[in-house]
Structures are given as C-alpha cells and as structure tokens.
Amino acid sequence: MWNDRIEQVKEKRLRHLEGGGDAKIAQQHKNGKLTALERINLLLDEGSFIEIGAMREPAPSQGDVRKSQSLPGDGVYTGWGTIDGRKVCVAAEDFTVVGGTLGVAHAKKIVHLQDLALEMKVPIIFLNDSGGARIEEGINSLSGYGEIFQRHVRSSGVIPQICAILGPCCGGASYSPALCDFIFVVKDISRMFITGPDVVEAVLGSRPTFDELGGASMHSRTSGVATSLYDDEESCLAGIRTLLSFLPSSCSAPVPKRAPAPAGGEGDVPFETIVPDNGRKAYDMHLVIERLMDSGAPLYEIQKNFAANVITGFSYLNGRVTGVVANQPLWLGGSLDCDASDKIARFVRFCDCFHIPLLTLVDVPAFLPGKDQEQKGIIRHGAKILYAYSEATVPKISVILRKAYGGAYIAMNSKTMSADLVYAWPIAEIAVMGASGAVKVLYKKQLAASADPEGEAKRLEKEYEDSFLNPETAEKQGFIDEIILPEETRDRLIAGFDLLANRDGADAGWKHGNIPL
C-alpha cells in the first residue's frame, strides 16, 4: 500500500513538473520564452521554492477539455521562496498548460496565495503568461478575476505587489497587473491590452499591430502602464530581485539598510560644472543624483522611459533607502505635464505607504503651458502631486538647485506643502515666473513707450532678478531653511534624514492604499 501510494504521488509530481509536455515546452522556447519553472528558478534563491496546490485540478464537470487530459496545477505554479534570504510569494502562469488560461481552480490557487502573502506580510510576485479567461468555464472563470482584483486592493499599501508580463495578458486579465505597484515588461514578449486587433478593426475599421496596442515599448514609453522595460526575461527577473532590495517586506517591516558608503559619481567634478547658472542651459540631473547618493548604489529608476521630464527612483543615502524625485532639465526643461504629474504622485504615495523617506531635487520652470495640456486636464493631474506630497508623512527634504517658478515650485514639495526641510543653492531662483516673462507682463506699456525696448527690458530684468530671483528673499521669509553651498548638500541631507528618521517608521503601520494614478 505504502509503496503504491508513494509511487502515485511521485508520478503526479513528475507530470506536474513536466507542464504541458515536451512538445509544448519546445514551442515555448521556440517563441523565445522561458517556462514557468525556469522563471521561478531564476527569480528565487536556488532551491528555495516551495510549491502549494501542485495537484489541484478543475472539477471534471467544468468543461469538456477536462475529459481528455489531466491538468495538475491547472496551469499555474503557486508557492513561496526567498530572494536574498527574504521570503516572497510567487504565482507563475504556465502557458504550456491550456495556454495558462484562468479557470476556477487556477484562480482559487492565486487567491489563496494572495491571502497567505497578506496574512504573513511578505511581497507577492506575479509572472503572467496567459491566454486569459478559460472560455469553456464561462462566467465562473471571469468571477475568478474579480476575487483576484479584490485581493490586490486589500493588499495595496500593506505588501509590495510586483508583476512581470512575460507573454500575453489581455482583456480583463490586464487589470490584475494594473492593480500592482510595479509592472515589468520584456521586449518582443510582453503583450498587454484590453481589446485585440480583431475587435479594434471591427469597431474602428483599421487594424493596429499587437505592438501598437500593447507592446512592451509602447507601455514603457507612451502609456506609462509599465514600470520597467527589459531586453530579455533573465534581466527582467534580475531587475525584480534588485527592486526588492530597496523595499521593505511590508508596511510594518523596516526599510532595508546597508553599510554607508561615500558619495558616488565623479567626485572631482564640482556641482558648479554640472549645473550651469544660465537657466536656459540644460543639464542631466542624473549626474547630480549620482554625486549626492552613495557609491555602488545607482539609482533604480521607476518609469524611466515615461515622462522623462521628471526622474523617480530608489537609491541609498548614507546606507538608507531613499526615494528620489527630480526635475530633468534635458526634457521639456524639467516642466511638469500631465504624465509627469501622475508619475510623481504615484511614486510619492508608494514611498509613503512603505515609510521610505523622500528627497526632491527641484529645477522646475512651470507646469507645461499650452492648449493640449489644458485639454488633457493638467489641473486635475497636477493636483495629484499636491495631494500626494501633502498626504505623505514620511521624512521629506527638498533642495532647490536652480529654477523654482510658480505653481510648479509649490507642487515640488515646497515648505508650504509640508516639506520638513528645504534647502536652496546660491543660484536658486524662487518666484512666480522668470525675469523675462515677469517684465513682459509687469512693464508692457513701459516697454512699448521706451525708445530702446530691448535695453529697457534688460535693465528691468536685472532689477527684477536682484529683487526677487534670489534665495535670500525666500530665506528671510522662512520658505527655505538655509542657503547651502553645493558641496554641502550631501552632508545636509544625511544630517536632515538622520534627524527625521524616527518620525515615521514601520511602527506607523498601514496608512493608505496605492491606487493606480
């Protein structure tokens, strides 16, 4: 009896590990994709995966497909393991088994894992590769998505939720990743859309390509749906491991720390060389960030290819994980548009959920003007930044490097938006607008009547700059805490965050969810 039962268990396990069989695994590889188990083994520490629900199958009455084949695991591997020694839960859909489609048993396995991850307060990672809802199970399969979505919302702001799109993810299924905190995509593999080319063609009369509808590059650069874009699955899975190194396991767990390190970047290049004092000249804000943060801890950018006029990401400052938000003068002068507003707001809210302190580097000329932005709702989108910064109770420090004009200055974590500390470099310009624009508005009639309008404009601009475009005025009125020299910036940041470190820690627990913005 024992031997027979043991052999039966071994046989079922082996069949489950073989997925859809050699032919389908070969086809998966031919399509340039890894199998679900290969992905899990690359993602997790070696030998750490412990599967649950391996032998779960659909009820025989649920669809004719069950009569012709056994489906151990029902097309998804669920379980837990470790990444750098830290526990995580993983659900990996197996495209070699009925196209990874979601049926009742498939959904219940994922829901059980979500409940387990939430209860144990560990991150959960989804590796999506599925043809969508299983048609032969009808509305029962669709209801499974509803249960999964509900768990995403319950877990939001409690545990990090990460999803990698490693194949198709279409229709209602795409809302599961959309409810996660981070979405990873891979070139030429990831496809994510609500309606396919056939439907679009039937409704609109023109047929888009799969890449136009839901390709990895499109979602990374245009829609902003994707957080990170990778060239292959191996680097994508490695990227998930790297991201987790910056994140606590839950809102109740401490933020990771590492040994303090000296400043990174080109240490012998002065900030004054990197940042021109001429406000019309662009520069790469990444060079400033590198000089301020620890060496050996390059910025892990979030939505790097989307809304490039702002930078968001994680790095280490004196061994502490720090969320970084910065204007990028190389794109649109670092101004704030609708997409940049959404990007900043969601990142700030994520950091606040998980008690990650925020550093804001300011060089912003304005909210991007124009008819297109107004019609897209820049007022509505821009308000998201105001809400996110005002709501956040994590330590928040801002440094005004150069320009800080108008409503955009207020939005970029100004003192009146509850910033804890605000510093400014000596060349900082804090005002309603730049000198040229201000003079044109304030002295329109005077310039028109002048015998030398150009000369008069320059004189008035100089007068305006001396009176308003300097940090001394803001310092005297308490809108900034100190004018600092560029080389003092890192030390001030370290000291400031050290002072604020105990104000909002893991003992604060859950604050709010991380609603998609």
DSSP label at residue 252:
T
Report how far residue 267's alpha carbon sits from residue 278's, in angstroms, rounded to the nearest whole number.
23
Contact of 98 with 73, CB cutoff 8 Å: no
Phi/psi at 35 (5° precision): -85, 170
DSSP label at residue 134:
-
Q: Which of 138, 319, 407, 505 is catalytic?
A: 407
Type of residue numbered 331: W
Report the run of H or E that residue 203 belongs to, with start and end: helix 197-204
CA 83-86-87 angle, to 5 degrees, is 90
Q: Which of 133, 408, 411, 431 is catalytic?
A: 408
How many CA atoms within 13 Å lie on the side-chain side of 441?
A: 8
Is residue 474 flagged as an active site residue?
no
Task: Work out whether strand 124-128 and strand 168-170 pair parallel, antiparallel, or are unpaired.
Answer: unpaired
Contact of 111 with 146, CB cutoff 8 Å: no
Q: Which of 138, 171, 406, 505 is catalytic?
A: 171
How many CA atoms within 13 Å lie on the side-chain side of 456?
A: 14
Sign of CA dihedral 335, 336, 338, 339: positive
- Radius of gyration over every alpha carbon of the chain, rounded to an integer in angstroms: 26
Phi/psi at 308 (5° precision): -70, -5
Report how far residue 480's alpha carbon sits from residue 397's, in angstroms, rounded to the nearest whole number.
11
Report how far residue 75's alpha carbon sits from residue 91's, in angstroms, rounded to the nearest whole number.
10
Report how far residue 229's alpha carbon sits from residue 239's, in angstroms, rounded to the nearest whole number.
10
Is residue 171 flagged as an active site residue?
yes
Q: Which of 54, 138, 172, 319 is catalytic?
A: 172
User: For residue 200, what are the contacts with CB-CB under 8 A and spacing of at least 6?
Assistant: 206, 207, 208, 213
Is residue 172 flagged as an active site residue?
yes
User: For residue 30, what are the contacts with CB-CB under 8 A and spacing of at least 6?
Assistant: none
Residues known to be catalytic: 171-172, 407-408
